[in-house]
Every structure is written in C-alpha cells, then in structure tokens.
C-alpha cells in the first residue's frame, strides 16, 4: 500500500524555499519525538518545497525534489534492502530530507528498525532524522502548511508590488535616475547604472557614492574582492545592449534578480520610448526646415508658429545661428554605420543643447551631415560673435570628444528664422572644407577660418578651375615625390632653410630639387605670383583627390 499526502508548495522555482530542515527540527512536536540525526547533519539548511507523508519505499515517481518526507516505514522498516532503496530514491530525486518515526504498536521504540535505518543511513549526505517517540504528523504538516503558504502569499504580494511599481514608472516615462532610485528603495541596497564603457549613468542607495568613486577600478577587478559576483542585469534589447544595472556588494539572490530584471526592462522601455519620440520630433523638424529651404511660401510668422508647435520657443529677440556637422568619412565607410553615427551625434547634441537651455531645431541634410538652428539669448548683439563663441564652446565642450570624428561649420546669425535656415547652405560648405583640414585646431569653423580653401570648395566643380590646376601641375603629375616636395616648399613660403631642415637635405640637394621643379614647370619659384598659382592648384588637387 502507498499513501502520499501533499501538504504545501513554496513559490520557489529553484527547489529551495524559506523553510529549512533545521527549522522543522525546532518545531515542538518534532522535539517531543526526541529526534536523532543519523545522516546529513551538514545539510540541515536545505530548503523545503513540499512536505509528504509516505508509507512505502516506492516514492521516487511522486517526488520532484526539495520535499521533506515524513514516514513511519511501517511496511518496510525491517528490510535493510527496502530501507536502503527508500533512501536511494530520495537522494536520486533531490529530496530535502526524511523524518522516520520508528515505534511499535504500543508506542514504544523499535530497536531493530532503528538499527536497520542507522545502517542504511550511514555515510549519506541526505538528512535522515529518526524519531524513537510517537508524534502527530498532522501538526508538522499544519505548521509547514501555514509557513509555506504564508511565504508564498508574501512572495505574490511582493511580486505584485514590483509589477505595479515598474509598470507605473514605465507609463509615467520616468527617467533613468528615478528608476534607479526606486530600485534602490525596493532592494534596500545601492544600485548603479553604467553604460557599455563602464561610465556611471545613474546611482542611488546608501553607499552608492562610495562605489561610484572607484567604479572603474572595481569593474576592472582592481577593487573590492568578489565584485565579479555582484548581481547584474543587461539593459537594452538583445542585439543593442547599451548598459548594465548592478547591485554592488550584494550576492545574487532570487529576490534581487526579480527586482533588478524588472528595473532593466523599465529602463529599456523608457529608452526606446524616448528615442522613438526623439526620432519623430527630429523628422518633423527636418520636414519644416526643408519646406523653408525649398521656398514653399512660408512667411516668417507661419514658420515661427510651425516651429513653436515643434518645441522651438526662443526668446522674442533671440539670434538664430545655423550650424552644420559633417561626419568624417572612412575610405570603406559603411553607409549604415555612418547613419547610426549621425543619429547618435544628433541626439547627443540636441540633448546637450536642451541641458544648456538652448532651443534648437535639427535637420538631416544628407548622409553623414546634419544641421542645427540654435537660438541664442536675446541679450546678444547683432554682431556679437564673442557671445556666439561662448555658446558654441559650451555646446561642443559638453560632448567631451578629445579627437572628434566630425567637423562643424557655422553660418551667420540672424533674428529671422527664414534667413537662419538659408544660412545652413553656407555653414555646410564651411563644414565640408573643415573636414579636409590636416589638423583641426578648433571645434567649429566659420568662412573666415577656412579662407582660400572655402573659395576653392565653392568653386570645386567648376571645370575652369580644374583646367587651371591641371595646367599648372601637369608636368609633375607622374612624379609624386616632386609634388610632395613642392607642397612642402610652398607651405614654408619658399623659405629654403626651413625646407632643408624639414627634409634633412643638404644645400646642394635642396637646390637640385628646386631646379628640377623649375625646369619641369618652366617657372621660377622665386616669383610670388608663380608660387601663389601653384599653391592654389595644389590645394584644389588635395581637396578634390
């Protein structure tokens, strides 16, 4: 005969619960049975999922792991093989342990059965507890039932609280700092949000500031021991992870995992929603600026009203400054990568302008090039280039790019939105020229900064200019070495001593090269007009490949 009675389940999925074998041994009903631990004394902290009452050694098919089995072993207690089989089955399924009551019909201890169980239990890790006195199993099951059911209800209530918290945060479009703060509150522990480069984006909770001060060393394994075991969860979609949420100083537990994973989901949803909204807004702003550029009949008043509906609300007399950013092109640049870089830099600049309280409109001009209309304060004068520079220095300084892979061109400011938008074309020309500079000494350039290169850029596709450059340099087209030397000579203004030092040339070798170039070209390099013509031709050649 087989009788199995299922008492309760914990809500844990990993086979552990909040009730352990050691705690069961502290129950008064068990203590009256004078329990003796025959095996598994080191495993008494095993968690209990279920409690079973069984009266047969054949229990394996009814168990799933984590169960505490209560039995009198009445039908098999005198068979060493059957008792051993019973314990073997419990071990195979990963039971939490067993409590075996061994008394006879008169409620007296059963010494023979005790010896059989003692021998079968010897050397096992499975907790085996023998009771030589009769107890009421129902009191054990009632205790376990109340405890496990209470814990399960508590977990459900906690899960509901967590669900409601992060659902509300997502619906309210809470920022990253707010989500991190709420997560720290729920955990009662410090929480840190970092990006893929381990830069801290937000942190909260007691002690989080201390972790953040040494964050780079900690995540690199140079700080606190055990940091690699802190609980963490990635943030972002699987194919585009953009950060990581970390609970420093806390080991991985189920409770932390539940909360931090929901926090990661909320951060991902918020970031996606923000980007979708930003993309839609940028598309709408681009549409308006294209309409103005195409001359579709919008007057200043109508254009301003449209811009206001798109969030562009400068002060009444604010100066509007056109700025164009051109990303550097690699020789084998992937168009998709360029588009992603453009999108990212646009969003970063718009976000920076927002932080600096600079109203702006943004538009994509072509692949890898986008424009901004920045609204300056109304206190700036019509010719206040210094005021413009202060604003631009703050804007580009906030980006923190030590070696930017882009060039910025700035047009003339205006109080008119229509005029400022028309200035994007000139700013685009300046950005294109600035992108050809060997060394960029500034974060942004105006037409006065690019000078002759700017003029050549404007005339770059004029066939007459091409014919001029070809005519000046054609005798040297097949000699790259002489062309490089000529460019060096001209860049030093014809200073022979400077050229000799730059190329480590002796006087005879220097004069020999100059003479060779003059013979090929049929001009004198001492002539200022000849040098100017050749310099213009070389600049055009460099800019047009």
Q: Nearest to residue 447, comparing CAs of 414, 421, 409?
A: 409
Paired tokens of 384:
């206040």
Q: By percentage, how much of the chain surpasses pLDDT 90?
A: 22
CA angle, residues 467, 471, 472, in degrees to nearest 5: 120
- Quick one: which of 113, 86, 91 has its CA closest to 102? 113
Contact 66, 149 (CB under 8 A): no
Q: Are 33 and 131 in contact, with CB atoms under 8 Å apart?
A: yes
User: pLDDT confidence of 2, banded at 50, 70, 90?
Assistant: very low
Structure letter (DSSP) for residue 224: S
Name the pTM for this structure: 0.45
- Cβ atoms of 279 and 338 within 8 Å: the answer is no
Task: Name 134's Cβ contacts closer than 8 Å, sequence gap at least 6.
Answer: 33, 101, 103, 107
Burial 432-443 (b: 16+ CB within 10 A, else e): bbbbeeeeeeeb
Q: Are 513 and 500 in contact (CB under 8 A)?
A: no
The answer to whether the Cα torsion of 345, 351, 356, 359 is positive or negative is: positive
In 3D space, the residue among 286, 376, 374, 370 whose CA is nearest the CA of residue 324 turns out to be 370
pLDDT above 90 for 70: yes
Instruction: Please provide the size of the chain in residues.
Output: 545
For residues 124 and 87, is the Cβ–Cβ distance under 8 A?
Answer: yes
Dihedral sign from CA coordinates of 474, 480, 482, 484: positive
State the Cα–Cα distance between residues 432 and 35, nearest whole angstrom. 87
CATH class of 4-150: alpha beta
Contacts of 214 (CB under 8 A, 6+ apart): 223
Q: How confident is the model at residue 501 (pLDDT cuts 50, 70, 90)?
A: confident
Pairing relationship of beta strands 240-251 and 320-327 according to DSSP bridges: unpaired
Closest Cα to residue 115, out of 132, 134, 127?
132
pLDDT in tens, 205-225: 888 888 887 787 777 665 554
The residue among 326 and 538 whose pLDDT is bigger is: 326
Paired tokens of 175: 């920022």
- Tokens (6 digits) for 195: 């990006």
Highest mean pLDDT among 190-194, 267-271, 333-337: 190-194
Q: For residues 68 and 87, is the Cβ–Cβ distance under 8 A?
A: no
How many CA within 13 A on the CB side of residue 194? 20
More confident position, 277 or 207 = 207
Confidence of residue 251 (pLDDT cuts 50, 70, 90): low
CATH code linked to domain 172-272: 3.30.450.40
Residues 22-41: tens digit of each pLDDT: 988 988 888 999 999 999 99
How large is the C-alpha radius of gyration of the chain?
40
pLDDT above 70 as % of the chain: 85
Three-state DSSP class for residue 37: strand
Between helix 137-171 and helix 254-293 the angle, nearest 10°, is: 10
How far is the C-alpha of 135 from the C-alpha of 140, rounded, in Å? 9
Who contacts 63 (Cβ-Cβ below 8 Å, separation ≥6)?
Answer: 52, 69, 89, 90, 93, 95
pLDDT of 14 higher than 60: no
Over 90: is that where the pLDDT of 424 sits?
A: yes
Give 444: exposed, middle or buried? Use CB within 10 Å, 0-12, 13-18, 19+: buried
Whole-number pLDDT of residue 151: 72
- The order of strands in the sheet holding 320-327 is 360-366, 369-375, 320-327, 406-410
Q: Is 122 exposed, middle or buried (0-12, 13-18, 19+ CB in 10 A)?
A: exposed
CB atoms within 10 A of CB 472: 20
What value, to the nearest 5°, has the Cα angle with vertex 268 and ends 263 and 271? 125
Question: What pLDDT score does 12 carry?
Answer: 39
Evaluated on CA atoms 61, 66, 70, 76, the torsion sign reads positive
Sign of the CA dihedral running 306, 312, 316, 321: negative
Q: Which CATH superfamily is domain 298-450 in?
A: Reverse transcriptase/Diguanylate cyclase domain (3.30.70.270)
């Amino acid at each position: 005969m087989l009788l199995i009675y299922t008492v309760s389940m914990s809500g844990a999925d990993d086979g552990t619960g909040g009730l352990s074998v050691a705690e069961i041994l502290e129950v008064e009903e068990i203590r009256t049975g004078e329990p003796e631990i025959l095996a598994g004394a080191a495993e008494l902290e095993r968690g209990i999922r279920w409690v079973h009452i069984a009266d047969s050694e054949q229990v394996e098919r009814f168990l799933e792991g984590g169960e505490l089995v209560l039995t009198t072993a009445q039908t098999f207690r005198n068979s060493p093989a059957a008792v051993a089989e019973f314990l073997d089955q419990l071990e195979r399924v990963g039971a939490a342990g067993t409590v075996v009551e061994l008394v006879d019909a008169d409620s007296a201890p059963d010494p023979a059965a005790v010896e059989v169980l003692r021998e079968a239990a010897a050397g096992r890790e499975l907790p085996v507890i023998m009771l030589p006195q009769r107890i009421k199993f129902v009191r054990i099951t009632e205790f376990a039932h109340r405890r496990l059911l209470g814990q399960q209800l508590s977990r459900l209530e906690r899960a509901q609280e967590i669900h409601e918290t992060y659902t509300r945060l997502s619906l309210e479009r809470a920022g990253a700092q707010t989500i991190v703060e709420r997560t720290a509150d729920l955990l009662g522990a410090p929480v840190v949000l970092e990006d893929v480069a381990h830069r801290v984006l937000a942190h909260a909770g007691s002690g989080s500031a201390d972790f953040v001060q040494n964050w780079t060393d900690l995540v690199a394994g140079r700080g606190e021991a055990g940091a690699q075991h802190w609980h963490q969860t990635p943030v972002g979609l699987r194919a585009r992870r953009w950060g990581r949420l970390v609970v420093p100083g806390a080991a991985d537990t189920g409770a932390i995992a539940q909360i931090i994973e929901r926090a990661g989901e909320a951060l991902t949803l918020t970031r996606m929603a923000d980007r979708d909204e930003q993309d839609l807004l940028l598309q709408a702003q681009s549409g308006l600026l294209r309409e103005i550029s195409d001359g579709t009949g919008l007057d200043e008043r109508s254009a301003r009203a449209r811009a206001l509906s798109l969030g562009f609300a400068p002060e009444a007399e604010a100066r509007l400054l056109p700025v164009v950013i051109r990303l550097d092109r690699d020789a084998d640049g992937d168009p998709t990568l360029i588009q992603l870089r453009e999108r990212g830099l646009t969003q970063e600049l718009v976000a920076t302008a927002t932080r600096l309280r600079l109203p702006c409109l943004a538009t994509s001009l072509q692949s890898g090039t986008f424009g901004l209309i920045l609204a300056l304060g109304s206190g700036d004068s019509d010719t206040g280039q210094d005021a413009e520079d202060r604003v631009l220095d703050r804007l580009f300084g906030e980006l923190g790019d030590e070696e930017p892979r882009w060039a910025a061109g700035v047009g003339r400011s205006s109080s008119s939105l229509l005029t400022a938008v028309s200035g994007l074309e000139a700013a685009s020309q300046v950005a294109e020229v600035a992108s050809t500079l060997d060394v960029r000494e500034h974060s942004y350039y105006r037409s006065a900064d690019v000078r002759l290169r700017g003029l050549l850029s404007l005339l770059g596709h004029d066939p007459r200019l091409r014919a001029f450059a070809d005519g000046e340099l054609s005798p040297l087209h097949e000699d790259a070495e002489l062309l490089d030397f000529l460019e060096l000579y001209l860049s030093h203004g014809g200073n022979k001593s400077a050229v000799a030092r730059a190329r480590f040339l002796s006087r005879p070798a220097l004069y020999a090269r100059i003479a060779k170039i003059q013979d090929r070209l049929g001009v004198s390099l001492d002539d200022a007009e000849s040098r100017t013509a050749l310099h213009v031709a070389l600049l055009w050649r460099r800019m047009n490949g």
